[in-house]
Amino acid sequence: MSSRLRLLLAAVGLLAFVWLLLAALDRALALAQRFMGLPAGMRWLLGLVLLLLALAGVAFGVWWLRPRKPRAPVTAPDRASLEARIEKLREAETDVEELRNELGELDRRRASARMYLAVFGEISTGKSTLIAALVPGATPARDARGGTTREVATYDTTVDGQDWTVADVPGSSEADGEARERMAREEALRAHAVVYVCAGDLTRTQGEELRWLGDFGKPLVLAVNKADQWHADELDRILDHVREQAGGIPDAVVAISAGGEERFTRHLADGSTEDVTRRRAANVRPLRDALDRLLAPGAAALETQRENAVLAGLHERTGERERAYRDEEAQRIVRRYARRAIVGAMAAVAPGSDLVIQGALATGMVRALASLHDVRVTDVEIDSLLRQVRMTLRTGTSVVLAIAGNALKAFPGLGTLGGGVLHAFAYALIFDSFGRALAATLAERHALDQDDASARMRELLGDAGTARLRQLAELTGEALRNR
Ligand SMILES: Nc1nc2c(ncn2[C@@H]2O[C@H](COP(=O)(O)OP(=O)(O)OP(=O)(O)O)[C@@H](O)[C@H]2O)c(=O)[nH]1
Ligand SMILES: [Mg+2]
């Protein structure tokens, strides 16, 4: 663009701005004049309203710009309640060995009075190399291929009179590494402090992992490794960016060079070549300093956060077991009641009559499922739920009977069982759909949400996959033969 054109544009812009300014001034003056023309009472009222609006605006600004509190650390349930839950699972013959071992490890580490440090991060970021530099004398497995550290390996050492155990945990974010990643995370929870190693800008997964670690509130250092790869100004830029990405979650962000070995091919004077392995110079001083500062309170002082993190992790894992146990138990309950409904149907149903859900059985199933999920239900609630279920059935009878009819054709063995099988199968489908629907509602909402249960039931009644129909056909056949 020529300078003349630019000058012209600037002049036009300036004129437009001045014109706008004058127009705004004119408008303000006109408003002021009208304001002054108002009766005194109105003037006061309007003035008050304007003042209130201005105050509200200021208050909103202050609230918006308030300093944000850092996220509160994850809260864990107390140990006694966790132990009680684990004991309950054990009584239900669930394998809880792993959970109890974790509690044992918690105590063992507390009693040892050692400082536990976990080195955590994605594959090949240099964790094993870093430990070798940080804990002289240790020789962890190192390799240029991703995923060399398969198991949690620990190294004992003494730093300034304090006994340390450093854990080298398997690299996360590796294909097929889900179990390994879980192991890594569990080890990170067991440590007093965590060093998160990366080798450049953080990826989204790394950012998430860092946030997850940060939520436990234990000392956390983000170490940007392989600093030797960059020039000083480039490193500064990367560090700034990583700090920004980390968003204040780690207690410190440091650049280090763990060292490691590099291989290259040397060309000799006689024209031949040889492969040479050379150690890179290591510099982990900034990490050492950060750790000295963060771990200064000592293992005992950092024990509360460590215990909190372990218990929070255990709470998650126990919850998973509880859910799995409840799912299985709910299936058993539904099957038991479906079987009873089949037998009951054969005894009571006059062919051609409506499908009326058997009240006592249905009530029994609702109670059993609610009690499994620790949800209290009253008789009134159960009655109301059953009323809604009956209504759903009234409109769905033909669908259910059609499905049952098709099932009789698809599984010819059922036909040999005599009359009434159609209804028996229909009841199997009804109880199975009702039971599954209710179990899902209870598991998800921890309440007897009757609308949700009915909606799920309608869906399950109309859409019974082949596998489910086969199961129900088998159940019907079995129940009728053993009658
Ligand atoms: N340039 C450079 N390379 C490094 C540095 N530290 C480690 N490396 C190299 O990075 C590669 C991976 O190092 P490891 O220590 O095995 O990485 P890791 O994180 O333990 O890997 P996994 O156990 O597989 O997750 C090796 O080739 C190291 O030589 C460093 O400071 N600078
Ligand atoms: Mg490793």
- Are 382 and 438 part of one and the same domain? yes
Higher pLDDT, 462 or 447: 447
Q: Which of 119, 120, 123, 124 to mutate to test the pocket of ligand 1 (most atoms within 8 A of CB)?
A: 124
Q: Please give the distance, rounded to the nearest whole angstrom, from the Cα atom of residue 145 to the centre of ligand 1.
A: 9
| Angle 422-424-426 from CA coordinates, rounded to 5° | 70
What CATH number has the domain bearing residue 210? Answer: 3.40.50.300
**Cβ-contact 433, 461 below 8 angstroms:** yes
Instruction: Judge if the beta carbon of residue 129 lies within 6 A of ligand 1.
Output: yes
Q: 194, 185, 126, 141: which is closest to 166 by C-alpha?
A: 194
Q: What is the pLDDT of residue 1?
A: 66
Q: Please give the distance, rounded to the nearest whole angstrom, from the Cα atom of residue 302 to the centre of ligand 1.
A: 29
Q: Indicate the pLDDT class of residue 144, thresholds 50, 70 and 90.
A: very low
Say if 33 falls within a structural domain.
yes
Q: Give the residue whose CA is nearest to atom 16 of ligand 1.
A: 142
- Are 239 and 382 part of one and the same domain? no
- Are 276 and 165 part of one and the same domain? yes
Cβ partners under 8 Å of residue 264, min gap 6: 275, 276, 278
Q: What is the pLDDT of residue 149?
A: 56
Cβ partners under 8 Å of residue 459, min gap 6: 437
Instruction: Judge if the beta carbon of residue 172 lies within 6 A of ligand 1.
Output: no
Q: What is the pLDDT of residues 333-360, one digit of tens each?
A: 999 999 998 888 877 655 545 566 678 8
Say if 139 falls within a structural domain.
yes
Closest approach atom of ligand 1 to CA 142: 16
Q: Indicate the pLDDT class of residue 170, thresholds 50, 70 and 90.
A: confident
Higher pLDDT, 26 or 404: 26
Say if 141 falls within a structural domain.
yes
- Are 350 and 445 part of one and the same domain? yes
Q: Please give the distance, rounded to the nearest whole angstrom, from the Cα atom of residue 483 to the centre of ligand 1.
A: 68
- Are 134 and 17 part of one and the same domain? no
Q: Which domain does 55 fall in, by range?
A: 3-64
- Are 347 and 283 part of one and the same domain? no
Structure tokens at 267: 């060309």
Q: Give the residue whose CA is nearest to atom 3 of ligand 1.
A: 226
The bridge status of strand 115-121 relative to strand 193-198 is parallel
Q: Give the residue whose CA is nearest to atom 21 of ligand 1.
A: 124
The bridge status of strand 193-198 relative to strand 261-267 is unpaired
- Are 138 and 269 part of one and the same domain? yes
Structure tokens at 161: 């009179």
| Ligand nearest to C-alpha 148 | 1
Q: Give the residue whose CA is nearest to atom 30 of ligand 1.
A: 226
Instruction: Judge if the beta carbon of residue 144 lies within 6 A of ligand 1.
Output: yes
Q: 198, 224, 202, 200: which is closest to 121 by C-alpha?
A: 198
Q: 133, 141, 131, 201: which is closest to 166 by C-alpha?
A: 131
Closest approach atom of ligand 1 to CA 259: 31
Q: 459, 429, 465: which is closest to 421 by C-alpha?
A: 429
Instruction: Judge if the beta carbon of residue 139 lies within 6 A of ligand 1.
Output: no
**Mean pLDDT for the stretch of residues 297-303:** 92
**Cβ-contact 373, 440 below 8 angstroms:** no
Say if 78 falls within a structural domain.
no
Order of strands, sheet of 115-121, starting from the edge strand that comes earlier in the sequence = 153-159, 162-168, 115-121, 193-198, 220-224, 252-255
Q: Is the pLDDT assigned to residue 141 strictly greater than 70?
A: no
Say if 118 falls within a structural domain.
yes
**Mean pLDDT for the stretch of residues 251-269:** 89
- Are 131 and 260 part of one and the same domain? yes
- Are 331 and 283 part of one and the same domain? no
- Are 189 and 270 part of one and the same domain? yes
Considering the chain, what percentage of its residues have pLDDT values greater than 90? 56
Closest approach atom of ligand 1 to CA 168: 20
73: amino acid identity, one letter: P
Number of domains in the chain: 3
- Are 140 and 186 part of one and the same domain? yes
| Ligand nearest to C-alpha 134 | 1
**Cβ-contact 435, 365 below 8 angstroms:** yes
Say if 102 falls within a structural domain.
no
**Cβ-contact 171, 126 below 8 angstroms:** no
319: amino acid identity, one letter: G
Higher pLDDT, 3 or 5: 5
Instruction: Judge if the beta carbon of residue 287 lies within 6 A of ligand 1.
Output: no
| Angle 236-242-245 from CA coordinates, rounded to 5° | 145
Instruction: Judge if the beta carbon of residue 125 lies within 6 A of ligand 1.
Output: yes
Q: Give the residue whose CA is nearest to atom 27 of ligand 1.
A: 144
CA–CA dist 167, 186 (Å, integer): 11
Say if 77 falls within a structural domain.
no
Residues pairing with 164 in the sheet: 115, 157
Say if 422 falls within a structural domain.
yes
Q: Please give the distance, rounded to the nearest whole angstrom, from the Cα atom of residue 169 to the centre of ligand 1.
A: 13
Q: What is the pLDDT of residues 68-108, one digit of tens each?
A: 655 666 778 899 999 999 999 999 888 899 999 999 999 99
Look at residues 64, 79, 101 and tell me which one is the last residue of a structural domain: 64
Q: What is the pLDDT of residues 185-202, one digit of tens each?
A: 899 999 999 999 999 999
- Are 241 and 384 part of one and the same domain? no
| Ligand nearest to C-alpha 130 | 1
Q: Please give the distance, rounded to the nearest whole angstrom, from the Cα atom of residue 138 to the centre of ligand 2.
A: 13
Structure tokens at 5: 């054109």
CA–CA dist 36, 46 (Å, integer): 11
3-class secondary-structure state, position 117? strand
Q: Which of 119, 125, 129, 230 to mutate to test the pocket of ligand 1 (most atoms within 8 A of CB)?
A: 129
Q: What is the pLDDT of residues 190-249, one digit of tens each?
A: 999 999 999 999 999 999 999 999 998 899 999 999 999 999 999 999 999 999 999 999
Structure tokens at 437: 């629907």
Q: Is the pLDDT assigned to residue 140 strictly greater than 60?
A: no
Q: Indicate the pLDDT class of residue 391, thresholds 50, 70 and 90.
A: confident
